[in-house]
Structure 1
């Protein structure tokens, strides 16, 4: 469109030159032809519009938003129409205490008061997209800054309004998923009314006050110590049971020996032991003596 406007200016210059005295009026025809060509080229180029993939175009004619939205591809349009491009791919808006993570510089985390009056810091990422058929509605009613007007304030309000129903420790541990589901439903409903589709809410980090963190760590350490002591006691009980069984076995063995062994059996066992010693390659045994008493064994080792 800029080329067409420039061509109109050149045409006006050609008309002015035509009314000028010689020799300037000799160039009027050339200037007029060039101006006409520029107008034609500008209008021709303005009639064709390419919408990139993942985007849609909203048409505005003399300040009025048109209903039909241009999808990706090549379109022939009214040269007087102004096109506003909207990104319909998934977008992420992050609010974090880390300076380099969020869209806003500095600490942009959400600070809320829990039901027990403690201040909790929450890092949040919102994954959303513009509904293609609602792009015209967004331009007409919200404008191009839908992130600053809708995404950011609705998300922060959802966090604050729901966090007050939970204790700080519950937000950090047992009720975290329940809390995330609630704010997900809240933001989904609010986004849908304004032409946005929520895809996912990510509660990335929940930071508790230092005193609460110290209390939790102390409790965890105490639980670990208790579990360790329980393991030690269980092990000692098993060892005591093993020794009891071993002692009972020895007692039973001694009882059997004292009641069931005869002199002949004892003499037989003695002879077996002496034979094992005599046939050992590591020792030479000399047996001296005899009778019912134990013999004397001498070794040359």
Structure 2
């Protein structure tokens, strides 16, 4: 095989080296991710903006640390003591993402394990603090939304200054000791039955009041009607009725002045 001239061999080596350099200099960042540049000469520069998604060119002796910067979900099971010292279990979902603008600072100060180093201890501390303010009954029923908001606020105070963006905390479940849960459920059931009984009493009382008002109205109307019906009025109405009946084609016998108060008696055609 014919050997390459020295110049040709050098050019081939140079081309191969150039291809390797170019290959190692191209870094692809996936969608929803960003890169932190680590420079061999000085490490991570906290003031440097992160590398954006797509193709990026870096010196082959430097490296890029990949971070997911879109929203992520962390499931967290925690245990805390209520205000009266009972053990309460919380099942929560934490929605978060790294602070994109401070990604280099996050990596330099906290590293890739920022979730376990910062976020998880923060939410556990906040949960213990908040749960300790409430009784098991409040945790089980009426105060769950308030507890969720308070845990979010306290956790956010810790992580916001540590380059983590906290989006939401969702409490999926609150687990009480079985005996306490049963006692609370019995109490809630009794309260519900009591409210239903009071409602029935109020409804019955209103119905009775309605009947009394209607009866009183009828009595007043009859009283007014009785007071207005004098003998003279009754006689006039009787005469009017007699005249109308006299005009009817039906057979009848009318005896004038034979009835009570001088009113006529009307006999049929029997």
Counterpart for residue 265 of structure 2? 295
Indicate the SS of the match to 1:78. Answer: coil
For the Cα contact (< 8 Å) 2:83–2:135, is it kept in 1?
A: yes
Indicate the SS of the match to 1:235. Answer: helix
Counterpart for residue 132 of structure 1? 100
Residues 138 and 247 (structure 1 numbering): CA distance in 2 closer, same or farther, change over 3 Å?
Answer: same
Q: Please point out which of 111, 114, 118 is paired with 1:150.
A: 118
Q: Aligned pairs, how many?
A: 258
Unpaired segments of 5 or more residues in structure 1?
Answer: 1-22, 96-108
Q: Please point out which of 59, 73, 79 is paired with 1:78.
A: 59
Kindly provide the CA deviation profile for residues 191-231 of structure 1, in whole angstroms up to 9, marking residues without a partner as x.
12432122223334445523212311321231132123212
Residues 31 and 221 (structure 1 numbering): CA distance in 2 closer, same or farther, change over 3 Å?
Answer: farther
Counterpart for residue 236 of structure 2? 268
Residues 222 and 270 (structure 1 numbering): CA distance in 2 closer, same or farther, change over 3 Å?
Answer: same
**For the residues of structure 2 that align with 1:55 and 1:46, how far apart are their CA atoms?**
19
Q: Please point out which of 92, 114, 126 is paired with 2:73.
A: 92
TM-score of the superposed pair, with normalisation by structure 2: 0.78
Counterpart for residue 169 of structure 1? 137
**For the residues of structure 1 that align with 2:61 and 2:201, how far apart are their CA atoms?**
82
**For the residues of structure 2 that align with 1:43 and 1:156, how far apart are their CA atoms?**
47
Indicate the SS of the match to 2:252. Answer: strand
Q: Please point out which of 205, 210, 235 is paired with 2:207.
A: 235
Counterpart for residue 33 of structure 2? 55
Indicate the SS of the match to 2:162. Answer: coil
For the Cα contact (< 8 Å) 2:72–2:95, is it kept in 1?
A: yes
For the Cα contact (< 8 Å) 1:58–1:65, is it kept in 2?
A: no
Counterpart for residue 213 of structure 1? 185
Indicate the SS of the match to 1:70. Answer: coil
**For the residues of structure 1 that align with 2:5 and 2:158, how far apart are their CA atoms?**
62
Counterpart for residue 255 of structure 1? 227
TM-superposed deviation, 1:128:
1.7
Residues 35 and 231 (structure 1 numbering): CA distance in 2 closer, same or farther, change over 3 Å?
Answer: farther
Select the structure with the greater relative contact order (CA < 8 A; seq sep ≥ 6).
2
Moved more, 240-249 or 36-45: 36-45
**For the residues of structure 2 that align with 1:27 and 1:279, how far apart are their CA atoms?**
146
TM-superposed deviation, 1:40:
1.9
TM-score of the superposed pair, with normalisation by structure 1: 0.71
For the Cα contact (< 8 Å) 2:254–2:266, is it kept in 1?
A: yes
**For the residues of structure 2 that align with 1:45 and 1:278, how far apart are their CA atoms?**
125
